[in-house]
Amino acid sequence: MAAAPPLRILHCFRSPVGGIFRHVRDLAEEHARAGHEVGILCDSSTGGAYEDRLFETIMPYLSLGLTRMPIRRSLGPSDIGAAFRTYNEIKQLQPDILHGHGAKGGAFVRLVGSRLRVSRSRVARLYSPHGGSLHYDRDRLRGRTYFAIERMLERWTDSLIFVSDYERRTYTDKIGEPGVPWQLIHNGLRQQEFEPVANAADAVDFLYIGMMRDLKGPDVFIEALRRAEQLAGRPLRGVMVGDGDDQPRYQSRIDMLGMGARLTMRPAMPAREAFALARTVVIPSRAESMPYIVLEAVAAGKPVISTEVGGIPEILGQNFDGFVAPGDIEGMAVAMAHAIAEPDWLAGAMPDPVAFRARFSATAMADRMMNVYRNCISVAAGEGQTQTASSLS
């Protein structure tokens, strides 16, 4: 039996920051190493020096190249021009697989892919929400609008890919039961990321790492650290790592509280470098899908305090002792003070390392994704049938 031919795979997403960018980089590297041709199309107006360095590391794996163009976050007239430019770029690349990530990337690949199908292309159209439009409130007009668009685009989708069961349940609750094939494939980590990260000699008590926006809870981290000092009866130290437009507002709050000497802010850096800066990682997010930062922290052997949101319980376990309700400053402060009073408390609550590593590997993630790609290509070519739904995780 002849070996399956290599595929031409193009990933499309809006913002090259955070978990989506990390997810695409992992898939691109794993699939390129397996002999496939991979490319990326994304926004040119977001990201900074840190993201530029990440692009440099992934470029050797992008035989289909890197295409960047302005793509706005919100819906608007500019999307029409962006869609035409996207179509022209994608048409020239002649991909077998179009994989859209996030609401805007998903919309573009399904519209463009469907137009290519009219021209007898057999390109497969896949969509991973990664939270995206699912974060909106279905009781508000904007949410209802986005969910209606998602439902409409579903008819031009060959497969939905969910990175957490929480994401799948949210999609079903807000948009409806998927009417197309879907798969659940958890995010994964590279082999070297399962090595423990030792604390630096001057490590502080707590680390926040992520985007500087309220959705991720940096404001909760600041207020909880101040309250934890009161509960612990002594000064505590923290560090906040990340970039974002709201960073000046958080710095102003730190200064107003007189915490500048104990709580510092640093620009985005590789997660494993940041992990060495503190003894405990705090995840104060108000909403998540399947955050890489939690996976990375667990793999690095760092104790974690986290809000119980999104797919995080699928990582840490449903009964994890370090969970706090989202937005609960007092609850977060109590957990932080507990970690100070009993340093071994969280270490004993973390997932089993062996089972965790087996479940969340990048190689397994990429292999499962390739199986979906192959099946979609087969169905598009009329050579096979697919199941209506299944889980590959």
pLDDT band at 2 (very low <50, low <70, confident <90, very high): low
Looking at the predicted structure, is the pLDDT value of residue 381 above 50?
yes
Distance between CA atoms of residues 212 and 216, nearest Å = 7
pLDDT at 74: 65
Looking at the predicted structure, is the pLDDT value of residue 390 above 70?
no
Collect all residues with Cβ–Cβ distance below 8 Å to 358 and sequence separation of at least 6.
none
Distance between CA atoms of residues 239 and 203, nearest Å = 9
Q: Are residues 168 and 212 in the same domain?
A: no
Q: Are residues 174 and 206 in the same domain?
A: no
Q: How many structural domains is the chain composed of?
A: 2
pLDDT at 311: 92
Collect all residues with Cβ–Cβ distance below 8 Å to 290 and sequence separation of at least 6.
19, 163, 164, 166, 167, 186, 187, 310, 311, 314, 315
Distance between CA atoms of residues 393 and 373, nearest Å = 15
pLDDT at 286: 95
E strands, 170-237, are 182-184, 204-209
pLDDT at 87: 82
Q: Are residues 120 and 175 in the same domain?
A: yes
Q: H/E element holding 239?
A: strand 238-241
If you ran DSSP here, which 8-state letter would residue 310 be given?
Answer: T
Q: Is residue 253 part of a domain?
A: yes
pLDDT at 158: 96
Looking at the predicted structure, is the pLDDT value of residue 249 above 90?
yes
Q: At 330, list the tokens.
A: 């007092």
- Contacts by residues 223-226 (CB-CB < 8 Å, ≥ 24 positions apart): 223/329, 223/333, 224/282, 224/284, 224/329, 224/330, 224/332, 224/333, 224/336, 225/259, 225/263, 225/333, 225/336, 226/257, 226/259, 226/333
Q: Is residue 385 part of a domain?
A: no
Q: Are residues 196 and 322 in the same domain?
A: yes
- For residues 83-92, average pLDDT: 82
Q: Are residues 317 and 373 in the same domain?
A: no
Q: Are residues 286 and 247 in the same domain?
A: yes
366-to-103, 172, 212, 324 alpha-carbon distances in Å: 22, 25, 30, 32
- What is the chain's Cα-based Rg? 21
Residue 99: what residue type? H
Compare 81 and 44 and report the one with higher pLDDT.
44
pLDDT at 388: 41
pLDDT at 280: 98
Q: At 248, list the tokens.
A: 């000046």
Sign of CA dihedral 20, 152, 165, 339: positive
pLDDT at 386: 41
Q: At 178, list the tokens.
A: 């998927």
Q: Is residue 45 part of a domain?
A: yes
Q: At 132, list the tokens.
A: 């995206």
Residue 169: give its domain's CATH number.
3.40.50.2000
H/E/C letters for each residue in 52-94? HHHHHHHHHHCCCEEEEECCCCCCCCHHHHHHHHHHHHHHHHC
The residue segments making up the domain with residue 323 are 192-356
CB 10 within 8 A of CB 204: no
CB 322 within 8 A of CB 338: no
pLDDT band at 29 (very low <50, low <70, confident <90, very high): very high
pLDDT at 135: 77
Compare 335 and 145 and report the one with higher pLDDT.
335
- For residues 261-273, average pLDDT: 95
Q: Is residue 305 part of a domain?
A: yes
pLDDT at 349: 94
- For residues 252-258, average pLDDT: 98
Compare 82 and 198 and report the one with higher pLDDT.
198
pLDDT at 76: 63
Q: Are residues 184 and 247 in the same domain?
A: no
pLDDT at 88: 83
Q: Nearest-CA neighbor of 219 among 284, 264, 160?
A: 284
Compare 344 and 138 and report the one with higher pLDDT.
344
Phi, psi of 228 (to 5 degrees): -60, -35
Looking at the predicted structure, is the pLDDT value of residue 60 above 90?
yes
Looking at the predicted structure, is the pLDDT value of residue 175 above 50?
yes
pLDDT at 246: 94
Looking at the predicted structure, is the pLDDT value of residue 293 above 50?
yes
CB 188 within 8 A of CB 363: yes
Q: Are residues 41 and 95 in the same domain?
A: yes
Q: Are residues 175 and 234 in the same domain?
A: no
Mean pLDDT of the chain: 91
DSSP 3-state of 48: coil
Q: Is residue 94 part of a domain?
A: yes
Q: Are residues 179 and 264 in the same domain?
A: no
Compare 390 and 212 and report the one with higher pLDDT.
212
End-to-end CA distance of the chain: 28
If you ran DSSP here, which 8-state letter would residue 132 be given?
Answer: G
Q: Nearest-CA neighbor of 278 among 190, 352, 209?
A: 209
The per-residue pLDDT for range 206-241, each reduced to its tens digit, is: 999 999 999 999 999 999 999 999 999 999 999 999
Q: Is residue 393 part of a domain?
A: no
| This prediction's pTM | 0.83
Looking at the predicted structure, is the pLDDT value of residue 276 above 80?
yes
